[in-house]
Amino acid sequence: MNRRNFIKNTGCLAIGFSISGSFIDAPSPMMQELPESIKRHPNINAWLEVLANGQVRIFTGKLELGQGISTAISQVAAEELDLTMENVEIVLADTLRTPDEGYTVGSGSIEQSAMAVRFAAAAARHKLLELAAQQLNVSVDQLTMKEGKISTITGDRSITFNQLLNGKQITDKIQAPVTLKPKENYKLVGKAIPRNDINRMVRGEQFYIQDLRFPGMVYASIVRPPAYEAKLLHLDEKALQKNIPGILKTVVNGSFIGVIAKEEYQAIKAQRWLQKHSKWSAGTQLPAGTDLVTYLKTLPVQTKRDNEKGSMPTDTSSFIKAQYFKPYHMHASIGPSCAVGIYENGRLHVWSHSQGIFPLRESLAKLLQLKIEQIDVTGVPGSGCYGHNGADDAAADVALLAMAYPGKHIRLQWTREEEHAWEPYGSAMIMEVAAVLDSSGKINSWQYDLWSDTHSTRPGGNANNLLAAQYYSTPLKEKQGFSGGGFRNSEPYYSFPNYQVNGHMFKGPLRTSALRSLGAYANVFAIESFMDELAEKAGKDPFTFRLMHLTDERAKAVIRKVQELIADVKQAANTGIGIAFSRYKNSAAYCAVAAQVQVQPKEGTIKVQKMWAAIDAGEVINIDGLINQTEGGMIQSASWTIMEQVRFDAQHISSRDWVSYPIMRFSQIPEVEVAVLNQPNEKAMGAGEAAQGPAAAAIANAVYKVGGKRIRHLPLHKR
């Protein structure tokens, strides 16, 4: 055990020093760093409570998005409190009950929430043992804890958690150093514990927000403009009432139109009728029929130098150069965005699959001009995907309608067409890379320029970025950050003597926001594709070339593991294997990917046959969950890379269904294999977004291996 791990595992370090000839033992300044969520919510009862039946209820401000956070948090809590998984209940994001942990983003659920629960449970364990020691009149080291009961090691006396607390809760603050359970005593953490929520999904039980129903519930729909920024000119509410039965109320505020009906189909029929019979202004014209790369390069930009090292050559004649491009991508949630809301007795309650229910509550308060204390938001998992899709917008839609029609639960689910046409997309990006190789074939200088729209227009506590707010009678203007994630992974993780990274941020024609991995997908695709090109120029194989530019042994380890995984793979005709690597955000999980593709030159088809990944996410909480996240990341990335792009005409988005925006079908999904490099003495790191970038580059590199054609502009298969 090295000094770093000793300090991390013991919590503090005792230092002896001499003053005036006498030796004094004194503790060092606190070495243990508590999670940020604990610093914001330092009391134990913010994170857990002991129930009368001996179970423990855990609170997390994060939402289950399919990443398996409920299972992982149950594991760390049960581990620290020596409980079985069945005796741990999880309460997900709820403004009435859980701590505010902001957004469930950036692969941060394990790093933030799970670690906060670990420290809270460990602090609770210590307090319970202290109380039991007093009650049983023994020292703490004479006690054991198991299944909600504390016993003497002789087994002659015991007391339950509930008996100790007598209906009260532990309100002590969590203060460093917190003594965590020794890792060598783990029984649950690091194991493949199955997710029990999968059973509910498979059986079709109520799980997703799309399944949520309330007695007497009514239904709603929104009438969208025919184009961005189109304004309502005329709407005939009387004709609507005459032609469509069951209409309870029509809500019009500027160009925001909502219809409330007794039955869902009535609401949909009203939506379709009004789309045909209302009049709108033309709205914003989109740049249809133009080369998107050329068009985006003409837009005004804000330029920022993100990072640099050394000095770049002034003579650019020796540079090897390439340009890469990623189109607009959809979240393309399988279940269209949905929300339920009720306004009753001066309070608004909204059920939403937003990734940030506390910021959503703030945004709704500003949109509706209510006090924040008047609004409750309950997080419910959505059948969707990772990123800022239409969840917040649907919640705002239903909140507006609930205020206009109080006393009834109102359910609003977007149509497939709405979801595809109005969600915020992942931004199109242009990446230009240039490098100089020295006489030994190593990279001496590296120049990287990227062009991108923002990757984050989440509401973030303001109402401006909610879709409904932009169509009010007094519309709010959308706010966007400078980079908003565009720089993510733009700085190479490799060791180069000289490099420079510049970002050029534009306001593009389509609505954009956070999509899984943000700018990292495109940046890693460009960097790792270019690394393969440079390896060929240098006369090196792709593995050797990458390894010779890395100093981090953990980075080298995942690359070598992938090399080992594919060592004996035999290549058939028209097939090839490509590789790629990245460390997500240059600070989270390490991931190397290999992809085997088959190219049929006559048909022009590309099929990804198999993908391999090696991942190091530090300490593994649930190995099955980590593998699932990596597999899913590779498959989603393969779909983006091979076939996905948002299409539009001069007026509106034309990709409005699964035909015009195809995603990978089950029959197209490649075989996947994941090797996990567990590091139990390292910190647990987020891994849900680690595989997307290297998967894209590995596929593109494999296509080049097969046909000798370097495709730098995605998607690889042009329709």
Helix or strand run (H / E) with residue 359: helix 357-368
**What is the arithmetic mean of pLDDT over 702-713?**
94
Q: What is the 3-state secondary structure (H, E, C) of 148-167?
A: CEEEECCCCCEEEHHHHHCC
pLDDT tens per residue across span 214-272 = 999 999 999 999 999 999 999 998 999 999 999 999 999 999 999 999 999 999 999 99
- Model confidence at 482, pLDDT cuts 50, 70, 90, reads low
Cβ contact 341:398 at 8 Å: yes
488 CB contacts (<8 Å, ≥6 apart)? 455, 517, 518, 519, 520, 523, 585
- Model confidence at 719, pLDDT cuts 50, 70, 90, reads very low
Cβ contact 94:378 at 8 Å: yes
- Model confidence at 481, pLDDT cuts 50, 70, 90, reads low
pLDDT tens per residue across span 650-660 = 999 999 999 99
Three-state secondary structure call for residue 576: strand
**What is the arithmetic mean of pLDDT over 479-487?**
75
pLDDT tens per residue across span 406-455 = 999 999 999 999 999 999 999 999 999 999 999 999 999 999 999 999 99
Helix or strand run (H / E) with residue 121: helix 115-136
d(CA 364, CA 466) in angstroms, rounded, equals 9
Hunting for tokens 């709108």 — which residue is that? 280
Nearest CA to 350 out of 363, 332, 334 is that of 363
d(CA 563, CA 561) in angstroms, rounded, equals 5
Q: What is the pLDDT of residue 14?
A: 31
Cβ contact 71:59 at 8 Å: no
d(CA 305, CA 438) in angstroms, rounded, equals 25
Is the C-alpha dihedral spanning 441, 443, 445, 450 positive or negative?
positive
d(CA 105, CA 101) in angstroms, rounded, equals 10
The size of the chain, in residues, is 719
Cβ contact 327:645 at 8 Å: yes
Three-state secondary structure call for residue 358: helix
Q: What is the DSSP string of 323-343?
A: EEEE--B----SSPPEEEEEE
Q: What is the pLDDT of residue 717?
A: 86
Q: What is the DSSP string of 611-677?
A: EEEEEE-SS-S-HHHHHHHHHHHHHHHHHHHHH----B-SSSB---STTTS----GGGPPEEEEEE-
d(CA 306, CA 423) in angstroms, rounded, equals 29
Phi, psi of 571 (to 5 degrees): -95, 125
Beta bridge partners of 450: 431, 503
CA angle 64, 70, 71 (to 5 degrees): 135
**What is the arithmetic mean of pLDDT over 86-104?**
94
Hunting for tokens 């969840």 — which residue is that? 391
Stated pTM of the model: 0.92
Domains and CATH numbers, the chain: 1-30 (no CATH), 33-197 (3.30.365.10), 210-282+332-416 (3.30.365.10), 429-707 (3.30.365.10)
Residues 663/665/670/675 CA torsion (nearest 10 deg)? 70
Give yes or no for residue 373 having a pLDDT over 80. Answer: yes
Nearest CA to 619 out of 180, 161, 220 is that of 180
d(CA 343, CA 394) in angstroms, rounded, equals 16
| Least confident interval from 152-166, 391-405, 514-528, 651-665 | 152-166
Q: What is the pLDDT of residue 77?
A: 96
**What is the arithmetic mean of pLDDT over 99-117?**
88
Cβ contact 596:611 at 8 Å: yes
d(CA 592, CA 705) in angstroms, rounded, equals 18
Q: How many other CB atoms are there within 10 angstroms of residue 347's CB atom?
A: 12
535 CB contacts (<8 Å, ≥6 apart)? 541, 542, 544, 545, 546
**Mean model confidence pLDDT for the chain:** 92
Which residues of 313-400 form beta strands (DSSP E)? 320-326, 338-344, 347-352, 375-379
Q: Which tokens hold the place of 301?
A: 């930009």
Burial profile 274-293: b = 16 or more Cβ within 10 angstroms, e = fewer: beeebebeebeebbeeeebe
**What is the arithmetic mean of pLDDT over 456-471?**
93
Cβ contact 149:159 at 8 Å: yes
The crossing angle, in degrees rounded to 10, of helices 69-81 and 115-136 is 30
Give yes or no for residue 477 having a pLDDT over 90. Answer: no
d(CA 127, CA 503) in angstroms, rounded, equals 51
Give yes or no for residue 3 having a pLDDT over 80. Answer: no
d(CA 491, CA 387) in angstroms, rounded, equals 22
Q: What is the pLDDT of residue 483?
A: 65
Q: How many other CB atoms are there within 10 angstroms of residue 24's CB atom?
A: 10
First to last CA, the chain: 56
110 DSSP 8-state letter: I
Three-state secondary structure call for residue 711: coil
Helix, strand, coil tally for the chain in percent (to 5): 30, 25, 45
**What is the arithmetic mean of pLDDT over 288-309?**
93
Beta bridge partners of 608: 597
Burial profile 102-129: b = 16 or more Cβ within 10 angstroms, e = fewer: bbbbbbbbbbbbbbbbbbbbbbbbbbbb
Q: What is the 3-state secondary structure (H, E, C) of 206-233?
A: CCCHHHCCCCCCEEEEEECCCCCCCCEE
